[in-house]
Structure 1
């Protein structure tokens, strides 16, 4: 019988308490000494690209998705935005199905996703389903690559995806309506209304999308043989049992109680209901093996910021609570549908975070902070035999850090970061990071930068306690990561351009991998080592040619993620091979033209072959997914109606009707369409 366990509170808090006492004494003293601060809070309204080094970011590789890409992806989910505009590889299990990320050749759990300061990663699985996050619910999306992610949190061996929301304090009343229809019975509805003044702002957003998702495909895993010619005939089938329905609400309040502080409240609710299509090799009736998954997520966040003359105090508290139900039904002859599996889980993460950015001078700053995260999972599975399986566990994670940043001149800056984590009552080894950035030419945009860090990723609660298969003896994954990069940015007349090239190397010991066992279930193990290395190229240009505004941005990534484990037996052929489902080459391109309200956008993506086995075998079509190019084309017209805007846009996905897969036995749609109407007021 599954029983709930009492909370284990016997943790070692001595170092954490000492740090918090010192931190808040320092903060209190600084606030008292800063009573003559400036008479307004500086609200950033315009973004300017400059060549000046930001000392706190020295050496870190960061990418911000530009505003044009954000607008074009307003009705999309985060998986589409990321795959089309960044070097991250997104593994999709079909349209509307699960989508996970591989950042710099690492596992999905090595990519951390934060939304306004709280983690969206599931404490149960450790990863994020990017297909469930609407782009419409965020204003800024940025990436912290590799070792640069330690300023956010530990454990992101690949990197961090940051989602942030902002407000316009000058707004009195505005809003947006979007409606769209598309292929396969797809319907999209989006709504936003903003109101307020210089003291308080309210922002409300809501969305609804639905699709039958019943696209056609050629099933090459099932074939009939012509008795006369001996040729194979592959059937054309529909993507049955793959309907999805999602809706959500985001409410935000921004309060300006004094000239020196800002208080923010946010609440995000979302419901996802989707059927999971069967594998292509399944030859049973359409009413057999029906998989369905429902999810409800609640994410409240409260944030307070105090702006002093010499520093900024930030306090954040939030939660990520998810309820998940999975059911498997099958058809039994002469009887009603039989419920084979009924699995329920509740996962929750409660976060408390404090940080203080103290500017000692224009050339020296110190950032200190402390985080507490309480993670819990209650999971139960009711199989057909009636034996209840599952687990109920909680873990408290604490972290303290300090970063010192120094500008030695206008050309050179560096920073040092030290972090200490206490995970489940056990201290992790010291986690340091060091970064530097050098601009050799005072008036030019050329720069060199580098970063070196150590990082740790803890096993998820499923890794440790899942029944059957959890392994409580797993070791944390340990990474040594190095980054080196250079770039150039500048402006000539009406043309702005930039280009960056970053190389990286990560040595990750005790990599966690799930492998099949003789008992018939899967179990996680620690691999000895994985070496992930490669480079990322980003380049862009934008400007005005005659009366045409143009914008071009492209990414290319070369990724090697090599298994350096010891052979598990004499037949192990995985050593020295690329990890499954990680492409060596990937690229994407966004090209946009606009003139007199007309706009045209071309999105192009490319992925090289991906192996489905650890041995990188190519003996059958089950062993490799072939390379593919994807082309999307958007064009539309914007009309101005007094102070309002009306926009109509046609989107063509998979322009050249390519047949492709991102995951074995999960088909993707051929050419399809969407018509979107947007009204801004």
Structure 2
């Protein structure tokens, strides 16, 4: 695959930056750099749960936090794989290797039923729903906040399962440089470099800039039970990314800033055999018409190339209007663009669809302090657009259409009130979203918490959420259904939490019911659909218990979690696809002087993918995927000040397991590297 810039070039460029930083290019003081949102990782400041900085032990929503230290130990791990090691999260993989599409389930909710923010900017795709996890560069992330449960009353559409917010590095203090590079199994290399800091003086300027590149020659993803008669094929990928932030406090309490993330991913996935499709795009197991292969003799299989481009950009102003009133004004843009090509196919000309999605969001948030309480008022406008086209005369299946374009607007108002009275905490929130074609959608949430002691607290929460149909759900030729209604959810949960400097434990029980679940069906289908369409055919009920905790014992840190859930489609009485009833994680880490070593394990019960008919044997398959346990080992050692070597061994026991039926996951793989990070 073509490489945009080499790892050696990347490192060389930033060696010069390191020298520049050491020679005080910027005016500096002796203050320390803080690239995390919390001075105390054991009780971090959580921003996402209330749209305002809140100490973790005052957060009433169920949450998890991934700090910089855990991200530094990630090595060759993808963002989705890192999230899988957290309480309450399951993942699925795409049909290609590490750069292929992934899905993340928060407490059983689907990938499209959760929101992902990158530095406060929504990054989900209006076409398919949900984020493109594989396009988000893990090496450039500072920390991650995960909020479980419906958050539509704070963030609007699609926050049924929760919200994940990703924070990139933010500079403070003298200029610092970080450079890292490593190499491992499957020809995988990961390199990144960052510079961040701030100037002195009253009109302080904060800045950060980071670049990264990840590439891999990949591995064979086609399993022996693949139902599509695909042959073994290695698929690789290359991802280039850049992040940047720049802000100035031009007067005390008055800050203006800009921030951006841009990523380009070029990955391969197994293509279908030349005999798999007829000229109008319909699937056929075999055909005797040239150039399609006859039964049992499909044509040549070619790798499919997928290009995904993700961009998030924003400009904002934070203003202390009075002693009690803070204003936050932001204009943001995000886009998800993609292109798929398979040059050597029976199609003439080649198959090469292109999709472009864009959303602009304008937000004005006002935080008003009323004694120790906080009143929050928000107004927001969101515009979404999509253009999808099939090039070179190819048309969408079952139609004569070569393209479709659509757009919609959402106007929103929201308010929340947070109070604390002694041992009592309470939050109340409400939001109204008026979406083109649907009218007003109102959601709300109420939460109450009580401190039995300073360390032990309990909470009870109730919230509603909704998910607007995606553009594919509504308009995709041959499948879309403009008659769809939004999915709607009601969630109730109880929590018990214990936090000290050495111990933490969390027990949460929840019950989330989702009505109007959108799935493939035949309800109210338009005439343009031949065999069915997107339909509101199901009700899902996801109930469960999530338990997690950790402790520090001398030089050892122990963490663990287990989730027991019942994610049921009430219409069919079947477990939702790719969800396990039981899953969890456990890890132990040892720290001594300059050495950090740890081992972690992830386990999951049986899951079931979509069933069908095997293209080779003609036999039916049920999509059952067995349970698994995988173990990972990591270690790092600071060989001298600011210079660290590190290594990671994923899937130590070479466990063969599947996250999507018929497709392999990585086997045992090792990665090692070196990092220079100024402290």
- TM class by shorter chain equals 0.7 to 0.9
CA RMSD of aligned residues (A): 3.0
Task: Tell me, yes or no, if structure 1 residue 345 matches structure 2 residue 355.
Answer: yes
Deviations 1:599-649 (A, max 9, x none): 21212101110012479xxx97653000001111112321223xxx11111
Matched residues in 1 for 2:254 and 2:409: separation?
30
1:435 maps to 447
1:302 maps to 315
Matched residues in 1 for 2:543 and 2:485: separation?
23
Matched residues in 1 for 2:123 and 2:43: separation?
32
* TM-score computed with the length of structure 2 as normaliser: 0.82
Task: Tell me, yes or no, if structure 1 residue 208 matches structure 2 residue 213.
Answer: yes
1:655 maps to 652
Structure 1 residues 189, 166: closer, same or farther in 2, change over 3 A?
Answer: closer
Structure 1 residues 189, 66: closer, same or farther in 2, change over 3 A?
Answer: closer
Deviation, structure 1 residue 554: 1.8
Deviations 1:563-598 (A, max 9, x none): 122xxxxxxxxx211111111111012322111212
Q: How does 1:161-176 map to 2 (within 5 A)?
A: 161-165=164-168, 167-170=170-173, 172-176=174-178
Deviations 1:365-396 (A, max 9, x none): 20111111110001112376565522111100
Matched residues in 1 for 2:469 and 2:394: separation?
30
2:367 maps to 357
1:635 maps to 635
2:267 maps to 274
Q: How does 1:491-510 map to 2 (within 5 A)?
A: 491=501, 496-510=502-516
Matched residues in 1 for 2:411 and 2:313: separation?
20
Deviations 1:271-299 (A, max 9, x none): 11111125799987895243111122332
2:549 maps to 539
Task: Tell me, yes or no, if structure 1 residue 330 matches structure 2 residue 344.
Answer: yes
Which stretch shifts more, 530-539 or 75-84?
A: 75-84
Match of 2:233 among 221, 227, 239: 239
Contact 2:205 2:247 in 1 (8 A): yes
Structure 1 residues 44, 382: closer, same or farther in 2, change over 3 A?
Answer: closer
Match of 2:181 among 176, 179, 192: 179
Contact 1:578 1:614 in 2 (8 A): no
2:603 maps to 606
Q: How does 1:618-629 map to 2 (within 5 A)?
A: 622-629=622-629
Q: How does 1:63-74 map to 2 (within 5 A)?
A: 63-73=64-74
Contact 2:143 2:168 in 1 (8 A): yes
Give the 3-state SS of the residue equivalent to 2:85 in structure 1.
helix
Match of 2:427 among 405, 415, 427: 415
Pairs aligned (count): 595
Which stretch shifts more, 214-223 or 195-204?
A: 214-223
Matched residues in 2 for 1:98 and 1:559: separation?
25
Contact 2:245 2:260 in 1 (8 A): yes
Contact 2:584 2:603 in 1 (8 A): yes
Matched residues in 2 for 1:419 and 1:612: separation?
36
Structure 1 residues 374, 392: closer, same or farther in 2, change over 3 A?
Answer: same
Tell me, which stretches of 5 or more residues in structure 2 are unaligned? Answer: 1-35, 46-53, 277-295, 613-618
* TM-score computed with the length of structure 1 as normaliser: 0.81
Deviations 1:312-333 (A, max 9, x none): 211111111222111233356x
Tell me, which stretches of 5 or more residues in structure 1 are unaligned? Answer: 1-42, 224-233, 566-574
1:394 maps to 407
Structure 1 residues 588, 167: closer, same or farther in 2, change over 3 A?
Answer: same
List structure 1 runs of 4+ shifted beyond 4 angstroms.
48-58, 215-218, 220-223, 278-287, 337-340, 383-388, 515-522, 619-622
Contact 1:403 1:415 in 2 (8 A): yes
Matched residues in 1 for 2:44 and 2:138: separation?
30
Q: How does 1:416-495 map to 2 (within 5 A)?
A: 416-424=428-436, 426-441=438-453, 444-491=454-501
Structure 1 residues 667, 54: closer, same or farther in 2, change over 3 A?
Answer: closer
Deviations 1:164-184 (A, max 9, x none): 2453422x2211111111112
1:32 maps to none
Deviation, structure 1 residue 239: 3.4
1:97 maps to 100
Give the 3-state SS of the residue equivalent to 1:156 in structure 2.
coil
Contact 1:279 1:666 in 2 (8 A): no
Give the 3-state SS of the residue equivalent to 2:219 in structure 1.
coil
Deviations 1:452-505 (A, max 9, x none): 1122211111111111211000011111111111111124xxxx1100111111
Which stretch shifts more, 276-285 or 620-629?
A: 276-285
Structure 1 residues 121, 563: closer, same or farther in 2, change over 3 A?
Answer: same
Contact 2:355 2:388 in 1 (8 A): yes
Contact 2:181 2:673 in 1 (8 A): yes
Structure 1 residues 338, 73: closer, same or farther in 2, change over 3 A?
Answer: farther
Matched residues in 2 for 1:401 and 1:614: separation?
42
Match of 1:368 among 377, 390, 399: 377
Contact 2:316 2:330 in 1 (8 A): yes
Contact 2:499 2:505 in 1 (8 A): yes
Contact 1:557 1:587 in 2 (8 A): yes
Matched residues in 2 for 1:357 and 1:661: separation?
47
Structure 1 residues 553, 587: closer, same or farther in 2, change over 3 A?
Answer: same
2:193 maps to 191
Matched residues in 1 for 2:44 and 2:306: separation?
49
Matched residues in 1 for 2:270 and 2:258: separation?
38
Matched residues in 1 for 2:516 and 2:78: separation?
33
Structure 1 residues 608, 44: closer, same or farther in 2, change over 3 A?
Answer: closer
Match of 1:380 among 389, 393, 404: 389
Give the 3-state SS of the residue equivalent to 2:61 in structure 1.
coil
Q: How does 1:24-43 map to 2 (within 5 A)?
A: none
1:257 maps to 250
Deviation, structure 1 residue 532: 1.1
Contact 1:77 1:132 in 2 (8 A): no
Matched residues in 2 for 1:461 and 1:502: separation?
35
Deviation, structure 1 residue 358: 0.8
Deviation, structure 1 residue 59: 3.1
2:224 maps to 219
